[in-house]
Every structure is written in C-alpha cells, then in structure tokens.
Amino acid sequence: MAVPAPLTDDFASVDTTGNVLKGGGYGRGLCRFAAQAAGQPEVAAALTIAASLIGGIEALGMPADGLGFGRRHMEPHRRVERRRDHFRPRRDGLVRVVLGGLYRGLSPQTRSPHTRSHHAIVRLIGALVAVLLLTRPAAADPLGHDPVKVVADARLTVVTPAGRGEVPIYLSADWSQPLPNITRAVIVVHGVGRDADGYLRGAEAARAAAGPEGQNTLLVVPQFLADIDVATFHLPAAVLHWSTESWLEGDPAHGPAPLSSFDVFDAILRRLADRTLLPNLVRVVLAGHSAGGQVVQRYSIVGRGEAALTARGVTLRYVVANPSTYLYFSDDRPMPVDRATCPGFDRWRYGLAGAPPYVGDTGGVGDTAGIEARFAARHVDYLLGTADTDPHHPALNTSCGAEAEGPHRFARGMAYFIYLQARHPGTLAQRIALVPSVGHSGAAMFGSACGLAALFDRPGCPGL
C-alpha cells in the first residue's frame, strides 16, 4: 500500500516510555508509535494515513487533547513497549486504542467547541482507519520468528548414535501398517515459517491435479519445529527443536539430542525402504520450496539416506524449488565478492568448509571431489519461478555470501545450474525447468505443469 506524504512535516517522535516529544501533534505521534509497536506493515500504512489526516485537522487549529490523544491515552502503549519482544499486539487492540481516542474526542459532550465543529470530518477518518485495519489480513512473518499455528499430529522417532528424538509429521496414509497400493512417496519440506500444514494442503492439491499419475502416492510432510514452537505448545521433551534457521542448515538440534534435520531425512528414507511396509514402492521424491529447497539442496549433496532406497531398487529424486542460496564446490561466484569484508562467502551453507557434524570430516577438509562427483550423479530437478525476481523480498537471504550468488532467486538458480554444467559437461544427471510467471509461491510452483512433472512424472513440462 502506498503511504501518502504527511500534510505537515513536523511528525512527532516518541521515546521508549511512550511520551510524545516536541515537534508534532499528539495524534500523529500515537499513530506512528502504534504502528512501530505492532511491527505490522499494513497496520503501519493505515495508521500513517490516519496520522496525515489528523495532522491536517490539527493544522486547522483543533487541539490535540480535544482529539483524546493526551498522555493518558498513550499509557496502553507504554505496556506494549516493555513487552514488545515477547508478543505482538493484536490488530484489533490497536483499533480500539486509536479509534477509542478518536471517538473520545468526537463526543458531543467534549469540552472543545472546535472539536464539535469538526465532528463529521473526524468520524470519517475513524471509519477509514477501521476499514483499512479490519479488512486487510494480518501481516505474515517472512522470517519465521513467530510460533507456528499448527503442529502435526503424528510423530516419527529418529535414532542415531548421538541420541534420539521425535519430529512431528503429516502422512496421507498410516505407514505403521503395510501399504501395498503405494508405488510413489512424495516428501515435501516446508519453508522458513515451518507451516507444514499449508505445505500438506499444497501437496494434496498437486496430487489431485496430477490425475492418474498422482494416484497411489503417499505424501510425507515433516515439521522442523523451533524452540519457540515447543515452548508455545508445551510439547513433550522428546520433540526435536532447532532455532528458526538452524534446521535448514543441517545443524544439531537444541534438544533433546543433537540431531540434524538431515538425520530426519535419513530416518524417513529408511522407513520408506522397508519392504514389509511398502512392498511395491518404486520412486521417492524429496522436494522443498524456499527454505525447504535450501535444505533439500544441501541434503542432495551430503545426505546418506539414498543408499537404503537404492539397495531395494527404489529411485530417489530431489526437487529444489526457488531457494535463496545454493552450495558451491569452489570459490567461483557469479557476482564479485570482497573476501576481506565477506570471509564466510565460501563456508557452510554456501560452501563445504565448516559443515555441521552430520557431514563429518568431509566438510571441506576431506574428500570434497568425491562428494561433488556423487552429487553430480544424483537426480536433482531445479524449479525456478521466472517471476521470483524481487531483490528485496522479505524472506530473501541478502547476506554478502548470498548476494555473491546473484541479486534474486531466479538469477541465483540460473547461475548455479550454469556453474554445474561447466564443471560437469555432458555428465550432469540433473535438470532445470522454468515455471512461467510464477513468483515465490510453493503452491503455485508445485501445482504448475513443471511441478507436477517433477513430483509425479506427469507429462507437460519442457525440460523435465
């Protein structure tokens, strides 16, 4: 939403105690501070419009205290400021605060005759703010710092020499008993928001759209929870949890054992390789979009779970869709990089050096050439939305290591595939498909013709 310039230039500033400082009207100061405290862009836009309009009325001579924005009406936001790291104020709470102040100033019994003379004008402003605030959806959390809304109901137990833990997981069928009709399994990895329920719905829609090719498919959607999720839902101590980003890097979990998200993929693939449960399974697809695409791309390089499937004649395909970054095998990059100011551009997750414990001694100091050769022989499909070209997307990694790979996701994906082709001319067992006019949307990518081809082998995508 475009925010109009204020009618006057003397916007008030607000200190951390919620007091309006010199330089502007009470109404505008409150609106601006409320927007900052909320941390919601669409609320900020609506309140800034209100601030501009209120500023205009104040310029006509209406006293600020007549509008009900005196110090006593700033009091609720003093409480917000102290706790804003712990919760996000509800949008309807802001409506009550802002419009409550407006309507107190609109009362026919107000002490200010000047307020009564502008009664109708300010009522119109209040109605506008209410519409703007109440008809727009709440802002999404692009970096995944908020707790998830839903936790998957099933659990997968992961056991390694480092310990054991459980991960929530969605399944389209009960895999604790034999599923002789299943010939394909599609594992879908969520994005940074950890909204596995949304990715399950997207996978179900894609399976339905695939028609006959989607039949006899088991959908598997693991959920990598963050510390805040476990605390919010008071989950048992056995549930694995990471930071909001460390799961996508393959780092050890914060508890109950130092297991990697890669260990979770290993456990899923071992389960799918069990012929007593899935006697007719032929193909497994491991797909991820955005942050999920990042973790799948790294796992396609260092993952160990494919061996269990290969031993039983089951093929595995990795599908990497619109990730922010890729792992390179050398210090070559498509964009210039200053090694002095960006020394980590070639370290994990952009290179193999400093890889997490799951990778072991091969993390940049061992058989790097062997890791790359194995990766080049693996079946990996890259899906790139041709409209995923926003260099300022809120969830785009803009660190110097990421910027060295290109300005946006589409450019980074194209550059990476060209890089692989140059290093493995004629031998690269990997493919790329461009999804026309699609931006950063997992549902649109997997539901496209190329998404259906990658997940379900449905014909109709050039390149796949």
Residue 61 pLDDT > 80, yes or no? no
pLDDT, residue 342, reads 98
In DSSP terms, 435 is beta-bridged to 385
Answer for the pair 456, 213: CB distance below 8 angstroms, yes or no.
yes
154-456 in CATH: which number?
A: 3.40.50.1820
Number of H-type helices and E-type strands within the chain: 16, 8
pLDDT, residue 119, reads 52
Query: What distance in Å separates the CA atoms of residue 289 and residue 272, rounded to the nearest whole number?
Result: 22
Query: What distance in Å separates the CA atoms of residue 411 and residue 389, rounded to the nearest whole number?
Result: 7
Nearest to 298 by CA among 388, 438, 189, 392: 189
Q: How far from the centroid of its chain's Cα atoms is residue 144's Cα?
A: 5
pLDDT, residue 126, reads 53
Query: What distance in Å separates the CA atoms of residue 58 and residue 322, rounded to the nearest whole number?
Result: 49
Residue 9 pLDDT > 70, yes or no? no
Calculate mean pLDDT across residues 62-77: 39
Between 177 and 61, name the one with better pLDDT: 177
Nearest to 54 by CA among 10, 112, 107: 10
pTM, to two decimals: 0.72
Answer for the pair 265, 255: CB distance below 8 angstroms, yes or no.
no
Between 331 and 19, name the one with better pLDDT: 331
Exposure of 370 by Cβ count < 10 A (0-12 exposed, 13-18 middle, 19+ buried)?
exposed
Q: Which of 57-71, 100-114, 226-240 has the highest mean pLDDT?
A: 226-240
Token pair of 358 as six digits:
């799951």
Answer for the pair 130, 124: CB distance below 8 angstroms, yes or no.
no
Answer for the pair 284, 378: CB distance below 8 angstroms, yes or no.
no
Between 360 and 7, name the one with better pLDDT: 360
- DSSP letter assigned to residue 262: H
pLDDT, residue 123, reads 54
Lowest mean pLDDT among 31-35, 44-48, 386-390, 391-395: 31-35
Give pLDDT tens digits for 130-188. Answer: 444 444 444 456 667 899 999 999 999 999 999 999 999 999 999 999 999 999 999 99
Res. 360 pLDDT band, cuts 50 70 90: confident
Neighbours of 287 (CB within 10 A): 27
Nearest to 152 by CA among 186, 112, 190, 115: 190
Lowest mean pLDDT among 114-128, 202-216, 343-357, 378-392: 114-128
Between 372 and 131, name the one with better pLDDT: 372
- DSSP letter assigned to residue 58: H
Give the start-to-end residue ranges of the domains of the chain. 26-135, 154-456
Calculate mean pLDDT across residues 421-437: 97
Amino acid letter, 250: G
Residue 11: CB partners within 8 Å, gap ≥ 6?
23, 24, 28, 29, 32, 51, 55
Answer for the pair 406, 415: CB distance below 8 angstroms, yes or no.
yes
pLDDT, residue 463, reads 87
Residue 377 pLDDT > 90, yes or no? yes
Amino acid letter, 451: G
